[in-house]
Amino acid sequence: MEQNELIALGLRLVQAHAVGAASLDEFSLLGRDWTQLPEVFAPHLTGSTEFFSTHLPYPVGGSLLEVGSGTGVTAVTAALSGCARVVAVDISPAAVCNSLLNAECHRVSDRVRVLESDLFGALAPDERFDAIFWNSNVIYTPAGFAGSGPGDLHGAVFDPGYVLHGRYLREGPDHLAQGGRLLLGFNSLGDTPRLTDLASGQGLRMNCLASAARHSGGTPVEFRLLEFVPRGEG
Ligand SMILES: C[S@@+](CC[C@H](N)C(=O)[O-])C[C@H]1O[C@@H](n2cnc3c(N)ncnc32)[C@H](O)[C@@H]1O
């Protein structure tokens, strides 16, 4: 798909949030009920949250960092799936509030800590996890794309210049415990060659752990759960 078409698709998704999420304050997913706040990425509008929350290799008894937790579905599901410690971060204050609400509602606040953070910025430098995951804002735009701003819904869909993907791959490994896994929820609307180059620049290569063909906003999309491993390993 051409870049202009991808941007138009992303803008339609942002618009669908403005209409859909404003009128819906609850949804069901993965057999549970969830609160949806306005201005937060809405799992019922695409299948990505459900797909990744289902296929993530949760470190049972261990720790998970979810970057960009949105409504908190994945972070809460992680805690309910046996993770002993979950940290959920998001740059959007509305998403932080939404993740807190859903953690409370599902009674996992004792093991889900929620922080407002730009990627790893609010973590202690030595804070480490058995797995780190981000269902990322996959649509590439040129740097300085006028439509987007951090913390709003554009920031849940677009990554101008793929600056955030670059930082995720550069900074993520510093927060992994020994044997920890760096995971990314990606899809075919993203720029795979650019992501591959960024990974390669960090000495990493990508493995696809799970994929599925679905539709997102009427467009065919392939969801891909990726893992980054040092080149030469596994
Ligand atoms: C595709 S949405 C996924 C939301 C949620 N994990 C889900 O699956 O429903 C991407 C999320 O990343 C968050 N995000 C974007 N840029 C970020 C940044 N620099 N630091 C932390 N979170 C960010 C967005 O606010 C959004 O909640």
Q: What is the pLDDT of residues 64-102, one digit of tens each?
A: 999 999 999 999 999 999 999 999 999 999 999 999 999
Which of 17-21, 158-162, 189-193 is the least confident region?
Answer: 17-21
Tell whether ligand 1 has an atom less than 6 A from the beta carbon of residue 43.
yes
pLDDT category of residue 14 using cuts at 50, 70 and 90:
confident
Using CA positions, which residue lies closest to atom 27 of ligand 1?
Answer: 70
Distance from the CA of 60 to the center of ligand 1, in angstroms?
23
Q: What is the mean pLDDT of residues 170-196?
A: 97
Tell whether ligand 1 has an atom less than 6 A from the beta carbon of residue 172.
no
Residue 168 has pLDDT above 90, yes or no: yes
Q: What would the pLDDT profile of 18-72 be if each residue is shown by its tens digit?
A: 776 556 799 999 999 999 999 899 998 889 999 999 999 999 999 999 999 999 9
| Residue 29 identity | L
- Give the atom of ligand 1 at the shortest distance from the alpha carbon of 75: 6
Mutate which of 40, 90, 117, 167 for ligand 1? The one with the most ligand atoms within 8 Å of its CB, which is 90
Residue 225 has pLDDT above 60, yes or no: yes
Distance from the CA of 134 to the center of ligand 1, in angstroms?
7
CATH homologous superfamily of 3-230 equals Vaccinia Virus protein VP39 (3.40.50.150)
Distance from the CA of 154 to the center of ligand 1, in angstroms?
10
User: SS3 letters for 17-31?
Assistant: HHHHHHHCCEEEECC
- Give the atom of ligand 1 at the shortest distance from the alpha carbon of 46: 9
* Annotated domain spans of the chain: 3-230
Tell whether ligand 1 has an atom less than 6 A from the beta carbon of residue 129.
no
Distance from the CA of 137 to the center of ligand 1, in angstroms?
7
CA-based diameter of the chain, in Å? 49
